[in-house]
Amino acid sequence: MPARDRRCMTGRFLRVRALCALAALVMTPLVAVGTASASAVATGDWTQFRNGPAHQGVNTAETALSVSTVGGLRQQWVTKIGGSVWSSPATADGRVYVGGLDGRLHALDAATGQQLWAKPDSALTGDWTFTSPAIGDGVVYLGINRPAAEIWAFDAVTGATRWRTGASISNINGSPVVAGGVVYAATTEDQVLALDAATGARIWDAKPNGGRGSGFYSSPTVAGGKVFAASLNQQVYALDAATGAVLWSFPTGGHNSSTPAVVGGTVYFGSRDGNVYAVNAETGVQRWKVRYGSNILASFQSSPAVVNGSVYIGTNNDRRVLALDAATGATKWSFRTGGVVMSSPVVANGVVYVGSDDRSVYALRATNGQRLWSAKVSGAVDSGPVVAQGKVYAGTYGDSGGGNVYSFALSR
């Protein structure tokens, strides 16, 4: 499938400007589910998409990079991998993991960028992955779309296959989540799964819309004993994390490919109807919604970061990064880039990091949007950058001959 067509397929990265067309409950509990923690990791690493199952997009352990030091970031290394990078990197124990459109998981040395391994050993024609790796207990989980889609579990050190689901699920464009010994994933065919993280055994398999209509192009979010999933069928669902039973659904006016963030009992997400929403996590009752823009290009595919009373999200319509008041939705500030912002912002130590289709990575002051640092890279940055152990990592799309992974660190 041509890369341009792949871009039209990916929900989190659907391009409104290209007018991509979207293709147009039964639960079976099998084994018990562990308790899922919604807290972000505290090690300084960034171990999965949005840095935790609640998808808050925050690294609270970062200390080296700050408002006063981030201007000293310099490129540390750049590594080309076999396919463009839609995946946000994940880091753990001195390694950087990233998926590529070559359908492989790449493990890189965090200090040098040297590729340590790439798995599966040989990619098949038509393999691809948009998903970001999730790391837990020495295992890296990734969704890979081959002629048939699978979730794979790899040993984090050697890359050896621990397990794979087999060709029994639909395409996976949203990143898997690991929480409490369970891997959660959602597919493009109205399917949310819970798998045993150690064995891959299916715990439950839910079809929130009865198997009808479109599925999920965002990542499921796990918090407070619930799984929150934003669907292309214009619904956001809350499922019981133990059984997959639907607890509530919330209607929007457009397709949803923004991954929800859950903070303080509120679910935050953007929609392709041009609104950012805040919804009560327990009841599904709307707290507020804010529309940004007034034409067909007013949409959100970026996933929000939420911290310190602010919601940070990128816009498609006018190439901006927004900061909204988490309690009211009021705009605090906006920063205009030179391209569409489908990249999901992340926040660490008072700084917002985000990529843009203008082939740049930005660092902005979280309180007022002031640009503190930026760097030009070789391609569009549609995945979210990550911040870990005093470094910023980002992947690129649209480069000649594949994608690049960049590392930026403070100059010595």
DSSP code per residue over 135-175: EETTEEEEEEESSSEEEEEEETTT--EEEE--S-B----SP
In whole angstroms, how far apart are CA 310 and each of 195, 307, 367?
33, 6, 9
pLDDT, residue 12, reads 37
> What is the model's pLDDT at position 296?
56
Q: Give the list of residues 6+ apart from residue 68 with CB closer than 8 angstroms, or none.
A: none
The CATH number given to whatever domain includes residue 19 is 2.130.10.10
Per-position pLDDT tens, the chain of length 412: 333 333 433 333 333 333 333 332 233 333 334 333 333 444 799 999 999 999 999 999 999 999 999 999 999 999 999 789 999 999 999 999 999 988 899 999 999 999 999 999 865 556 788 899 999 999 999 999 877 789 999 999 999 999 999 866 888 999 999 999 999 999 999 999 999 999 999 999 999 999 887 899 999 999 999 999 999 999 999 999 999 999 999 999 999 999 999 999 999 999 999 999 999 999 999 999 999 865 555 689 999 999 999 999 999 878 999 999 999 999 999 999 999 999 999 999 999 999 999 999 999 999 999 999 999 999 999 999 999 999 999 999 977 767 999 999 998 7
Q: How many CB atoms lie within 10 A of CB 392?
A: 26
Cα 8 from chain centroid (whole Å): 17
pLDDT at 121: 80
- The one-character DSSP state at 216 is -
Determine how many CB atoms are found less than 10 A away from the CB of residue 309. 13
Q: What is the DSSP letter of 188?
A: T
Number of domains in the chain: 1
Provide the terminal-to-terminal Cα distance of the chain, rounded to the nearest Å. 44
Separation of alpha carbons 89 and 91, rounded Å: 7
DSSP state of 1: -
CA distance 69 to 180: 35
Sign of the alpha-carbon torsion through 299, 234, 282, 207: negative
pLDDT at 406: 98
User: Considering Cα of 111, then 305, then 248, then 222, what sign does the dihedral take?
Assistant: positive
Give the pLDDT of residue 128.
Answer: 83
pLDDT computed for residue 123 by the predictor: 57
Q: Contact at 8 Å (CB) between 393 and 96?
A: yes
* Burial state string for 246-274 with b = 16 or more CB within 10 A and e = fewer than 16: bbbbbebebbbbbbbbbbeebbbbbbbbb
CA–CA dist 134, 52 (Å, integer): 9
- Cβ-contact 149, 157 below 8 angstroms: no
pTM reported for the whole predicted model: 0.90
Domain extent at residue 279 = 3-410
Dump the DSSP string for 268-334. EEE-TTSEEEEEETTT--EEEEEE--SSTT----SPPEEETTEEEEE-SSS-EEEEEETTT--EEEE
Nearest-CA neighbor of 37 among 233, 155, 182, 190? 182
User: What is the pLDDT at residue 267?
Assistant: 99
| HSE-CB of 20 using CA atoms within 13 angstroms | 18
Give the helix/strand (H/E) hosting 6. helix 3-9
Which pLDDT score, from 0 to 100, does residue 122 have?
67
Contact 366, 348 (CB under 8 A): no
Say how far apart CA 238 and CA 236 lie, in whole Å. 7
Structure-token pair, residue 289: 């919604």
